[in-house]
């Protein structure tokens, strides 16, 4: 392994790293918001909207991100809607992530025992108070592991952005390998930067999960 080559590649990888992180974080925020909205809509069985979100979840959970990106980037311009590669990455990641986040939140809401609701109502709480003070906190606690897993999954999925010519980490590695054939050095840096991006999320997620679980259940 040539350290000089690694040192010369670093600036390009750093630029690609920040681009990947920026698009990934915005996509995750979109996914979180979509997941919360769709989970609540389906939990409360809001007419029409619940059906729309059910179709959305099944459609995006059962198609690869790469196909979705191709449709947004290459297909939508045929309908007169043109988006940049960055916007395509954010929207594609957000739509895919929202379908997974929704199921995680919905499973958390569904896992709250009915006895909790009955107890809250017996204490004189309104339906709204029951939801915000009893159901939601417990559902949030139960959803944390799935949410963290989904965030990590979405960050790893950013590796397919290179297919729409985004200068992300994967595109940079492939480009450098194609130009200079220093495969070992390029892949080494690719692995290092993905670890730098994802490992802190995993560690922080585990800490949050333990703190939330302890606060809710005392163990």
Per-residue pLDDT 10s for the chain (219 aa) are: 777 888 899 999 999 999 999 999 999 999 999 999 998 898 888 889 999 999 999 999 999 999 999 999 999 998 889 889 999 999 999 999 999 999 888 888 877 777 777 777 777 787 777 777 777 777 888 888 889 999 999 999 999 988 888 889 999 999 998 888 888 999 999 999 999 999 999 999 888 877 776 566 555
pTM: 0.88
Residue 127's domain comprises 3-217
Alpha helices (runs of H) in the chain, residue ranges in sequence order: 3-43, 49-61, 65-70, 85-110, 114-122, 127-130, 136-157, 169-180, 183-217
Q: Are 88 and 72 in contact (CB under 8 A)?
A: yes
Q: Which pLDDT score is estimated for 114?
A: 72
Q: Which pLDDT score is estimated for 216?
A: 60
CA distance 43 to 105: 10
DSSP 63: S
CATH code, domain with 164: 1.10.3720.10
CA distance 106 to 135: 12
Domain count, the chain: 1
């Amino acid at each position: 392994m040539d350290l000089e080559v690694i040192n010369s590649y670093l600036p390009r990888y750093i630029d690609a790293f920040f681009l990947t992180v920026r698009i990934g974080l915005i996509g995750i925020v979109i996914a979180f918001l979509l997941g919360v909205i769709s989970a609540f809509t389906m939990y409360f069985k809001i007419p029409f909207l619940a059906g729309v979100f059910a179709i959305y979840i099944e459609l995006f959970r059962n198609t690869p991100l790469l196909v979705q990106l191709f449709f947004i980037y290459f297909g939508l311009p045929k309908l007169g809607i043109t988006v940049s590669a960055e916007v395509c990455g954010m929207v594609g990641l957000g739509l895919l992530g929202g379908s997974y986040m929704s199921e995680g939140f919905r499973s958390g809401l569904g896992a709250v025992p009915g006895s909790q609701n009955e107890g809250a109502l017996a204490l004189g709480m309104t339906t709204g108070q029951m939801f915000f003070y009893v159901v939601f906190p417990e559902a949030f606690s139960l959803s944390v592991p799935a949410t963290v897993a989904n965030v990590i999954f979405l960050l790893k999925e950013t590796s397919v952005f290179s297919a729409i010519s985004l200068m992300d980490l994967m595109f940079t590695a492939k480009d450098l390998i194609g130009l200079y054939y220093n495969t070992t050095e390029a892949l080494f840096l690719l692995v290092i930067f993905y670890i730098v991006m994802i490992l802190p999320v995993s560690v922080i997620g585990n800490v949050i999960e333990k703190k939330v679980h302890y606060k809710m259940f005392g163990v």
